[in-house]
Chains A and B, each alone.
Chain A
């Protein structure tokens, strides 16, 4: 016997597929929407559909965008000679929040991981090399800003020799202590990297 309306059950099931949402949260979200005003629910539905229909990937940097090229790639204010290579669109978001980076991006769409069967062909590596090649010398520096773990390091190590012959400076993000942190709480790995990467003090 069906005790709950099929439409409600269907929505619960859809919510439960989302990351970080268990069956209980899915139920609560569904019943919250059930009780909320119709126009609010419609706005949510529209937002989801619009996101799916209008968001595309930029054909230059492969970041998510609504216009191609994306606002960053299209902007004359940005330094197109400086490319920051990241794994995911979320990384772009993080770097943009710093408000200090004036270059452009290249989103790889992941990191190399043989274990998970992710090889160079699965990432936008060839596109990056082509982009630098076709810039006819405009690109001066490529920042390999992949994550500081084995997969991210491996990806950077894989890309570097492909770009080196193209006469660009290759850099990697510094690694070390978080700002506002205490030395005693840093893990040994981070601390030893921070020691290795120490700099002359110009205070």
Chain B
């Protein structure tokens, strides 16, 4: 799959970008702080509906934009046809701001309807929210029709490789869980849904654990949440284990090519589920395990068991690279995992993801750089950003279209 076009309006430092793309390789060159990573962020948002950098959506809207909204729009060519995807991020100024009501979008259209509503007999209905007033949040359209965000995750699949990913092996476990989640959400809608429900259950359950600890609630109230947690955790764990197994051969191959002695990925769930068991049995076993931990969970006021405590280890033979690997080996393993992710998504969805390489080339040594560029040979769209154009091998540089980015404009 590839993006045919990408339009950004008031997104980060892009006021009005109209970019025509297509299949092939693109090198986005420019100095730091000109908008390279913002471009990558926009592309990745098309896949995940969420930013990987921004704390709040408000940050995505260009400072000083007149309309208080940002827009990402793209025509996407998929194996099964093209579609147009639009994400509109609204960030109205805060309520105290006198300009808050200046949106004025709905002031006219409601007009005289108020008088008609009147104070009729019986209980009046709840007043509806003002129709088209700019509310904080996101709206998503596919081919012009509004859709829910969760239904649009994975319409575009993107594998993003950025400098922070080089620390995947030695970084915190949450980074490795995030890797599994982002990959699986693009592949499976049911995973995405289970994960968002799981977050909700975790929040309620940890609040309940603390309430019980403080004698505000009855421990038996946990029975319900244990059941919900187990029912969501089991499929998440099974999907993650499956992903790691599918990534293994490619990751191993790439690692060998990089001159190592191969790579073995080891999924380390906080609770291992036997995939052979019927789901109901696995859920029952998980629930039982929770019951055995109940006293400790209450004492600590924390959810101790479940996918939110999982990890992923990178092994070369018996050696854990996070502990004993060299810096080069650790970066190589991260690279191998990313390329394996690419293949896993392609196999599962039947369509090749877009590969976005955000400023990572200069971070890799020449061997790994060559291995990376060699493996992107058959990918339908590669978007690579760099602040050092001279670091790009000549053959690749010659085969790509160059885009120069400067202060939110691309020429």
Contacts and interface: CB of A to CB of B under 8 A. Distances in A.
A21 B126 CA distance: 12
A120 B128 CA distance: 31
Interface stretch (B17-25, B76-84, B217-225, B361-369): B217-225
Given A43-B119, A44-B119, A115 B207 contact: yes
A10 interface: no
Contact of B216 (A21, A119, A153): A119
B200 interface: yes
Nearest to A156: B224
Contacts of B379: none
Nearest to B216: A119
B100 A22 contact: yes
B201 interface: yes
A113 B204 CA distance: 7
A32 B115 CA distance: 9
B225 A119 contact: no
A157 B128 contact: no
Contacts of B223: 157
Interface residues of B, number: 39
Given A114-B204, A158-B221, A188-B193, A32 B114 contact: yes
A153 B224 contact: yes
Nearest to B150: A187
Contact of B128 (A20, A27, A151): A20
Given A23-B95, A150-B200, A154-B225, A114 B193 contact: no
Contacts of B224: 153-154, 157-158
A25 interface: yes
A24 B207 contact: no
A5 interface: no
Contacts of A153: 224
A189 B221 CA distance: 25
Nearest to A112: B221
B129 interface: yes
Interface of B: 95, 100-101, 104, 107, 114-115, 119, 123, 126-130, 133, 148, 151, 189-190, 193, 197, 200-201, 203-205, 207-208, 210-211, 216-218, 220-221, 223-225, 228
Given A20-B129, A90-B126, 19 more contacts: A19-B127, A21-B127, A22-B100, A23-B101, A24-B104, A25-B130, A43-B119, A114-B211, A114-B217, A117-B207, A119-B211, A119-B217, A150-B197, A150-B228, A154-B204, A154-B221, A161-B220, A188-B189, A189-B193
